[in-house]
Amino acid sequence: MQELELAMAAVPLPMLHIAADQRITAANAAGTEFCGAVALGRHFGLTFRQPALVGAIEAALAGGAMRRLRVTIMRDGHDLVFDVTVAPGPKNGALITLQDMTELEQVTQFRRDFVANVSHELRTPLTALMGFIETLQGPARDDVAARERFLGIMAREAGRMARLVRDLLSLSRVEAQERQRPETQVDLAGLLSGVAATLRPMAIEAGVSLTLEGVGIARMIRGDGDQLTQVFHNLVENAVKYGGNGKRVTVRLQALDQMPGGQGGGVAVSVEDQGDGIDAQHLPRLTERFYRVDTHRSREKGGTGLGLAIVKHIVSRHRGRLTIDSTRGQGSTFTVTLPVA
């Protein structure tokens, strides 16, 4: 048994030996951490309760062939996914090796959800386009009024798909660069002034007053000018869209002596609107891909559900933080803090 324990100690994964009498008799350090020292000398059924795994252990103890299976095991109140190898061991026992696959399983599920969401977002406008094309080729071929109306709807749906593809490509680029710290110097005050100038016509059309505060002095930070423009363009555009007619959107730039949770000075840019606000239950999920508080309203406004996800990744690349404060009926404030170069 001592030779077995020495061999098990060289295995980095949790590994256990179950004797012929169905007791756990040995474990390496990772195995002891997994099941606890109290499990040694006790029946394996007190540690493993999954029917498929119990069956595989019993089969190995009876001299059956090695088996690999994926099981879900609860630890510390969380369901974790393990790839488990069960094989016949010395002295008519069984050897169990466990590999934690939870993170990989989550990534796989994330990819499945992402593909499903993209497919759903594209299917709706595609279905509309196909339906209108079929109508224009048939019953509405010579109906001038219907043709003009349908072509307008088709152009709107095609634009929606183009925005989605654009945001998907942007998200892919941002994720690829997230670990690369920007090296260029950016005047944040000048950048914000440019964003405001670009969006002011949109604000006027929406009946929203767009004001800037704190941009009278140049604020230099290390950053990617194009990406930071994308961040604040997105935040200000959202504030204008959802701020409400006759309301005000304020973009405020402030110097910070100390970055929250970090060392050194920084800057904070807050985008404040006077819209309907967002219920607290939605705030933690706003930066998730395709998460929308109001799906119908978001699509009406031309949203793709990816804007805040892109913002989050860009801010992360710049070693900054995005915080969201909102009270239902009192508006929202999106604040980006960035370190000073």
* Structural domain boundaries in the chain: 2-100, 101-177, 181-341
Q: Is the pLDDT score of 338 beyond 80?
A: yes
* Residue 66 pLDDT: 92
- Render 100-169 in DSSP notation, one character per residue: E-HHHHHHHHHHHHHHHHHHHHHHHHHHHHHHHHHHHHTTTTT-HHHHHHHHHHHHHHHHHHHHHHHHHH
- According to DSSP, the β-strands at 248-256 and 209-213 are parallel
Residues 34/76, Cβ–Cβ less than 8 Å: no
User: Residue 25: its pLDDT value, please?
Assistant: 92
* 155 token code pair: 């152009």
Instruction: Report residue 297 as tokens.
Output: 């309203």
Please check whether residue 268 is in contact with residue 256, taking contact to mean a CB–CB distance below 8 angstroms: yes
Report the distance separating Cα 156 and Cα 41, nearest Å. Answer: 69
pLDDT of 298:
53
Which of 33-47, 87-101, 171-185, 203-217 is least confident?
A: 171-185
Tell me which CATH homologous superfamily contains domain 2-100. Answer: PAS domain (3.30.450.20)
For residue 200, name the pLDDT band (cuts at 50, 70, 90). very high
67-75 and 24-27 strand pairing: unpaired
Mean pLDDT of 112-119: 79
Q: What is the mean pLDDT of residues 145-161?
A: 85
Spatial contact of 180 and 219, defined as CB atoms under 8 Å apart: no
Return the pLDDT at 299: 56
pLDDT over 90 at 58, yes or no: yes
Report pLDDT for 341. Answer: 62
Is 296's pLDDT higher than 60?
A: no
Of 60-64, 114-118, 165-169, 258-262, the range with the highest mean pLDDT is 60-64
The pLDDT, as a whole number, for residue 294 is 66
Q: How many CB atoms lie within 10 A of CB 221?
A: 20
Q: Average pLDDT, whole number, for the chain?
A: 86
Q: What is the mean pLDDT of residues 194-217?
A: 90
Between residues 260 and 47, which one has the greater pLDDT? Answer: 47
Architecture of domain 181-341: 2-Layer Sandwich (3.30)
pLDDT band at 149 (very low <50, low <70, confident <90, very high): confident
Query: Which CATH fold topology does 101-177 show?
Result: Helix Hairpins (1.10.287)
> Contact at 8 Å (CB) between 168 and 306?
yes
Residue with tokens 């019993």: 58
Confidence of residue 67 (pLDDT cuts 50, 70, 90): very high
Mean pLDDT of 18-38: 92
Q: Is the pLDDT of residue 302 over 60?
A: no
pTM score of the predicted model? 0.66
How confident is the model at residue 87, as a pLDDT? 93
What mean pLDDT comes out for the span 253-278? 84
Percentage of the chain lying above the pLDDT 90 cut: 40
pLDDT at 213 over 70: yes
pLDDT of residue 270: 94
Q: 250 Cβ partners below 8 Å, 6+ apart?
A: 211, 212, 213, 270, 271, 272
Name which residue leads in pLDDT, 294 or 169: 169
Give the confidence band of 262 by pLDDT, cuts at 50, 70, 90.
Answer: low
